[in-house]
Amino acid sequence: MSWSTSKIPDLTGRRALVTGATSGIGYETALELLRHGAEVIIAARNPEKSQRAAAKLAAASGREEPEILDLDLADLTSVKKAAGQFEHDHLDLLVNNAGVMATPYRQTVDGFELQIGTNHLGHFALTARLLPLLLKAENPRVVTVSSFMHKTVSSIRQADLRAENGYAKWDAYSKSKLANLLFMFELDRRARAAGSNLLSAGSHPGYARTHLQTSGPQLGGASREARVVSGFTNLVAQSAAAGAWPSLYAATEPGVRPGSFIGPSFFEYRGKPKVVSPTKAAQDPELAQRLWAWSVEATGVDAF
């Protein structure tokens, strides 16, 4: 597949919301969407970082500063408030990008394990609350960012939402990324069953240089681990801009099929984007339905 950001079509008139767009893959995604004419809203939890990112995005793209939406995915009340403050009549594209990785054990405001609470439940609730606006768009898309780490786990249980049976940071991260894909596929199935033209797709960045690799160890006070991870990442990982290519392809390529999963072409590690294969567990409709039901119970909102 020969693809570059120059092949992104003109996005003038399309409105996109990107979570976690103050740095890394989210920032690069927002930047290319702006460069190709989209109206972009960046959603993040730190207002100061959001302001700096908005100014930087404007300078780099030559466009006006993107709109800012205050959003803390680890707080379901914040998710509800953010969706309520979305002042537009429709939304063409939602990129569920924000996330945390391999953190020490923490709970969200609502008592869920931090990684699945942020990476999955927060985005589940946001998507559900914004769905009426997505369905008002002509050709709406939801892109959910996962990881190749979803391949390291074979299932997920309701108890994992609160880490009731113990906690291992990488296991929890991988399960949150499996949840992202289960959600993506189930959203696609429900949209098609409802006769909607909403396109749900997934992506993963391969191994890209972002703050995620070091933020988890730093949060746990493991400065030596953070330095080792940072050194390795700087040596072998691709840039955050390249890591954003799968998300951008999933978000903008006209030929993307519903339920597609896009990742890097070179062993899903780096390179140009292509359609890749998720695990059987990620495509299990019964597991996806159970996760959906658990997510509705946890967040108090539903879609379709």
Q: How far apart are CA 273 and CA 281, in angstroms?
A: 22
DSSP 21: T
> CA distances (Å), 134 to each of 14, 88, 142, in order?
11, 11, 9
Residue 99's closest CA among 205, 246, 14?
205
Strands (E) in 133-227, as ranges, are 141-145, 199-203
Tokens 């119970």, located at residue = 297
Cα 241 versus chain centre, distance: 15
Could you write out the DSSP letters of every residue in 79-139? Answer: HHHHHHH--SS--SEEEE-----SPPS-B-TTSSBHHHIIIIIIHHHHHHHHHHHHTTSSS
Q: Which amino acid is at 147?
A: S
Closest of 74, 11, 66, 14 to residue 41, by C-alpha:
66
Task: Based on the residue annotation, tell me whether 269 is a catalytic residue of this protein.
Answer: no
Q: Residue 114, Cβ neighbours under 10 Å: how many?
A: 21
Q: Are 184 and 200 in contact (CB under 8 A)?
A: yes
Q: How far apart are CA 66 and CA 95, in angstroms?
A: 15
C-alpha gyration radius of the chain: 18
Among 27, 105, 167, 173, the active-site one is: 173
Q: Please say whether the beta carbons of 187 and 244 come within 8 A.
A: no
The residues that are catalytic are 173
